[in-house]
Every structure is written in C-alpha cells, then in structure tokens.
Chains A and B, each alone.
Chain A
Amino acid sequence: MAKTYAPTDLIANRRLYWIAAGLAVVMMAPVLWIIGLSIKDNAELMRGTQQVFSAPYTVVNYLNILKSSNVFGWFLNSLIVALGQTVGVLILSSLAGYAFARLEFPFRRTLFVIVLFGLAVPEQVVIIARHQMFNWFGLHNTHIALILPGLSSAFGVFLMAQFFRAIPRDIDEAALLDNTPPFRIFWRVLMPLTLPAQATLGIFTFLLAWNDYWWPLISATKKEMFTLTIGIASSQTNFAQSEGLGFLSAQAVFAALPIVVVYIFFQRHIVTAVSGGAVK
C-alpha cells in the first residue's frame, strides 16, 4: 500500500525542495561562472568579468586548447598518476586492511597505531625529506615519482581495516570449513563484500591525485611531465591573470571534465562515502 502524506508534510517537503534548490544554485554558481568565462573573449573579460552576462560568446578558447600541444600530454600524465595511485592504493590498502582486521601477527596493534599516525602527519612535514629521497634515487620527473607518495594511504588502510572488521567472521569460518585457502578467502569471499568501501576509497584517491598540486609542482619540473594542475597554472598569461582569463577558464573546465564524469558515474557511492555509509 502506497504511503500517504498529510498536506502539512507536502508543504514541508516543498519548502525543503526550495531550500535544496537554493543551495544547489549557490553550489553551482562558481561552476557556471567559470563555464561562462570560458566562452568569452579574453579582451572583453579584461574590461570586467560582468561581460559574461552578455553576448557575444565564443568557443575560441576551447579551440586554442586543441591548438596547444602540451595540454593533452598533461591530461595523460594526470590520468596515469590518478589511475596509478587509485589502483595502487586499493591493492595495498585492501591487503593491509585485511591483515590488520583478520590476521594475527606480532605487534599488530602497535603497527596499526603507527599507520594511524600517518593521518596526523601533514605532507608539509615530510616534503623535504621525500624530495631528497626521490632525488637520491633519480626519480624526479617520472610518473613513478608522482605515483609513489600517494600509495602510502593511512586513510585507506584504516578504512579497509574497519570494513573488514565489520564483516562477520562466520563467513571466513564457513569458507575455512570448505578447505578454502586463506588468500582465496580474502580474494573470492571477502573482497566482493568490500566493494562499497573500495568504491569510496577509489573515488577519494582518484580525486585527490587528480587535484594534487604541491608534489607535482616540485617533482615534475619538466613541462613534459607536468600534470594538468601544474600545466594550467604555468599557462597563466601574466601576473595575477588579468589577461587571458577566458583561456584559463576553458582549461580549467577541460581539466575538470574527468572529475565531473567520475561524479556522474559514482554519485551514489560518493554520497554514501561522504555520509559515512562505507564504514557502517
């Protein structure tokens, strides 16, 4: 039987919708603003960004992206780094999380606490030491250098360990009774159950890697190795970008496209992740 609503509920719901719509407009405003800027002539924008509200509009900024040979290389670099980090983090965090949640080994709790300390250490603290280490190994200006630091994800290990702990041990024990080897239990029995957490972790890792600025700034110093964030920043046409604003905005829109796609396809998982559903 369908649920019925009292008129007061409907009014309240309608108010909620209006509030939600208002908030959505506020959230969308910067996105619409930058899309608007991207389809305006640079010289017009120098006279003031209010020009965005009036015609004419142009796609010349997007055509200029196509003409600029570096942007696609930067895009590819970002894709390699973001996917490399995502796959690596999922593998390592799943293995480590499983180990901390299910296996007995010496100093397990101590090691887990040490891993959790990683959540409290900001990147700035280790950046110089890390830069020197990568220098010793001659790794700067390589994809490996851009991927490796992101693989040590304390958050990922914590998330996966919590998720594995939430899975009843009865499932492992049932598999053991069937003489299933431990790795097969991990891979075939438990891993499929962790898909929500994997999705959450994968999305967050991809987004963080895609948007990372600081480490690529100092590790990838050759233009061929720039990621999109660094490449776009380097394209600013003058001090404080009072000129070329349309072109810069077009590049920003272009750079954001993969993120938008990720959001569209994984919206449900992102909402679950942000609301904490992945660790319940």
Chain B
Amino acid sequence: MKRFLLGTAAGAAMSIASAAMADTTIELQRFFGACDADYGTVTDVSAAVGECGIITALVNKFEADNPGIDVNVTTVEWPGYDQLNAQLASGAAPDVVSMHYSVISDYQSRGLLEPLDGLLAGQGIDPAAFTDAGRGGVTKDGQMFGLPFDNWTMLFHVNTNLMAQAGLMNADGTPMLPNSIDDLFAMGAKFKEATGKPYLVQILANETAAYARVLYTLLQQQNSDFFADPTAIKLNTPEAVAAVELMKRIKDEGLSTEAMDYPAAVSGFTNGEGGIAINGTWLIGSFEAQSHEDGNALSGGGYTVYPIPQFFGGRDSTYADGHGWVVPKGALEDAEKAEAIGKLFKFLADNDFQWARTGHLPAVSAVFDMPEFQGLPHRANIAEIAQTGTSLPAEVQRQFAIQDIIGEEVGSAVNGDKSVAEALSSAEARINDLLANL
C-alpha cells in the first residue's frame, strides 16, 4: 500500500512537473498573415509554401518538437507597429515580435528591446553564422537586438516569353538585361516596338515604398553617402537629381506602365502587361508557380529573376532590408521563458533554409551553400545580393516615415507635379525636420 501511495505521489508529481513545463508560453506577434485554414495543423514544413504557410508550419513544428513550450501566435496587419506601440505603452508587449531591420533602431534607441547576444550565445548561435547584411541589420551600438531571419530587396522579375518576342534573349536562354542607362532605353524601345508593351511594370500609384527603394538603390550605385550624418539626409545633390531624373525619364518616355498600384502591378506582370516587374523577393515563389501553370503570360516557364542592374558607374548595389525577430524589454526576465525563446530562435536559425523558400534571401550564410537552396529556382541569379544588398545606416531612425516622405516627393517629381529639384528640396527639408524633432 505504501509503495502504491508513493508511486501514485511520484506519478502525480511528474504530471504536475510536466504540466508546469507545458505552461511556458511564448507570446509571438507577427505579420505575414494568418492561414490557419490551410496550415493550422501542418508540421511538415517542406510541404508549406508562401510566407504565411512556412512561418505557420515552422511554429507548429517547433511546438511539436518542444512539448513543454506553447507558442501563442498573434497575427497583425502589416506591419503592425501601431499595435506594438500601443502594447509597449500599456506594458503588455508580446515576448517575440517580427520586425523589419529598418525599424529596429526606432525601438532600440528608446530602450524598448532586449539585446540578444547572451541569449543567442546560450543557444550556441554564433553571430558570425549570419550574413553581413543580416547581422548588420539587427546590430545597433555593437549589440544584436534581433535574430536575423532574411534579407529582401527589389528585383527585376522578367517575363521571358515577352523578352523572346522582343528578341532580347541570349542563346543560353537568359534574358538580355541593361548594363547602363543607354542600354535601358535602347532595350526598352526595342521591347516596345516588338511587343507594343512597356518594358517595365512599376508600382507608381498609391504606394511610397517602391519609389524610396528604387531611389536608395540608384543613390547607392552612385556611391552617394546621403545619410553620412544619420540625423540628416542630403538630397540636394547631383546624384539624387540624376537618380530622380532617370526615374522620371523612364516614365516620360513610356518605358513603364503607369498608374498601377501594388496589386495591379503584380497582376499586370502576370498578365503580360510589361516585360520586367520591379518588385520584391517575396514574389519569386508566386511568379515561379504561375510560370508552371496554364493560362497566364508566364506560362511555359516564362519567368526568371535578377537583381536590379547597375545603371551608374559607382558600384553594384541594391537597397536591402530584412525581417528579424526581436524581444521587447522585460520578456527575458523569466529565466524559463528566456530559455524557451532561445530555443525558438535556435530552431528558426537552423531552419532558415525553409524560410528562404519564400524568395527572401537567407540570413544564415551556410544556407547559400546548401544544395537544397542552390536547387531552388533562380536563387543562383540573385545570390550576389548577399554581398551587394545595402541597408540604410543602422543609426537612421524613422525609416518607414522617411520612406513615405521620399515616396510622396519623388512620386510628385516622376508624375510631373513638381520639378525634380523642388521635390528633392522638399523631401530633404521634411525628413530633416522629422529627424530633428524625435
């Protein structure tokens, strides 16, 4: 009887202990959407596709592998920073949050994020394992304030069916792409003559980010140090004028689709309304999938993708940002929760290849060497972005707000509502006013 009682007590104690382990809950808040209907129970990550599917499956797999840890996911409307601000103000921030590298400095500079060097070291995650772009994106004042997850950038998504029609394909099946501004206009004219369609499909309406990303790229390609002082931008420069005049000339000479917002530009490219879409890494998977389906302009494998070519003589560079995972201040005070978050980060870093299937570039260097990654469509074409991708300086704050201002002003210049000089002066004044009043 005594043994029975002892055995029962031991069993009960073990149950309580395992229940206590199961009580470790990580509150994870992210964008990338909700797709519980399709992936709510999927733990085979390789079977998932798209940002939402892959991150949902990754979390499911982590929970399955770690029965003592529950990850409670809250999805927010992209990018979700209004909600995060409200949560931080009310002391109810989640434990882990998805965050763009370009936004980390806004929160880090106000002491709202935990430095993660110790946490990552505790899990055996070596900062050197990340790409320079990934590590640089989350490093502020010499400390890592996030787990780098990917890098993304704008790309040249190419409709090779239309390029072939225009006689702009090489013998090896790759498209001819411009290597200079003169090339761009010559190829654009040839393309239009052969197909009757504009060479480029651009997002020129109702969106500011695309203008800013293209401008940053063109400035970087001229070695313009427009944020030499991270608290003040310099846009009244010959480099900025040259960049915006190029953007305006593309539109004025009919090289680009007009008045398309983001969704219109995406579907416009799929429908063959132009030859090259300037859009992000995240669309590679979708366009590639459509190129293997019938009934669209990419059908028959008519799709490939390349980095934005170098148009200016300075250096080969493309503006890049990325997604990381950050931990709001205070979330590591509970040692058990900190351990669980560390395990989650280790899992995400170890599975960075899976995330790279979305089209984003890996943040973990070793993924580039994986045969599985190299076997993904088009990744060899864009792998150089790991070296050429360049963010704004980490110290620059309010990068989303700056992006909006640049988008508005450059958009006005490109669409002819303001002169180029006037738009750049206005953008510079507005941004510097913003940065002077933080």
Binding site for B on A (CB under 8 A): 43, 45-49, 63-65, 67-70, 131-132, 134-135, 140-141, 217-219, 221-223, 230, 233-245, 247
Contacts and interface: CB of A to CB of B under 8 A. Distances in A.
A47 B37 contact: no
Nearest to A63: B37
B371 interface: no
B137 to A, nearest CB: 18
Nearest to A223: B74
Contacts of B36: 67-70
By size class, the interface of chain B is 35 or more
Given A132-B89, A242-B262, A237 B83 contact: no
B389 to A, nearest CB: 18
Given A46-B270, A68-B37, A218-B83, 18 more contacts: A46-B290, A47-B267, A49-B263, A65-B37, A67-B37, A140-B92, A219-B86, A221-B86, A221-B92, A223-B75, A230-B77, A234-B77, A235-B33, A236-B78, A237-B35, A240-B261, A242-B262, A244-B35
B155 interface: no
A242 B52 contact: no
Contact of B50 (A218, A223, A234, A238): A238
Interface in B290-307: 290, 293, 295-296
Report the 8 A-B pairs with minimum CB-CB distance, sorted nearest first.
A218-B86, A237-B33, A64-B37, A233-B77, A240-B262, A67-B37, A135-B90, A242-B266
Contacts of A237: 32-35, 50-52
Given A68-B37, A238-B33, A47 B75 contact: no
A49 B77 contact: no
8 contacts: A46-B270, A47-B271, A67-B37, A218-B85, A221-B74, A223-B75, A238-B50, A243-B286
A234 B92 contact: no
Contacts of B268: 48
B238 interface: no
B336 interface: no
A221 B87 contact: yes
A64 B39 CA distance: 11
B398 to A, nearest CB: 18
Contacts of B78: 236, 238-239
Contact of B207 (A64, A70, A240): A240
A135 B85 CA distance: 13
Contacts of A222: 74
Nearest to B358: A238
Given A67-B36, A218-B86, A238 B52 contact: yes
B34 A46 contact: no
Residue of B36, B77, B296 with most chain A CB atoms under a 10 A cut-off: B77
Contacts, number: 114
B112 interface: no
Contacts of B283: 242
B32 A217 contact: no
A80 to B, nearest CB: 20
B434 interface: no
B58 to A, nearest CB: 16
A241 B267 CA distance: 12
B83 A217 contact: yes
Contacts of A236: 33, 77-78
Given A47-B267, A236-B78, A242-B262, A135 B35 contact: no
Residue of A68, A69, A238, A247 with most chain B CB atoms under a 10 A cut-off: A238
A70 B74 CA distance: 11
A48 B271 contact: yes
A57 B255 CA distance: 36
Contact of B270 (A47, A217, A221, A223): A47
B76 A234 contact: yes
Contacts of B290: 43, 46-47
Contacts of B280: 239
B358 to A, nearest CB: 9
Nearest to B287: A46
Contacts of B76: 234
Contacts of B89: 131-132, 135
A5 B50 CA distance: 65
Given A238-B282, A239-B262, A64 B38 contact: yes
Contact of B90 (A67, A131, A240, A245): A131
B91 interface: yes
Contacts of B350: none
Interface in B34-93: 34-38, 40, 50-52, 73-78, 82-83, 85-87, 89-92
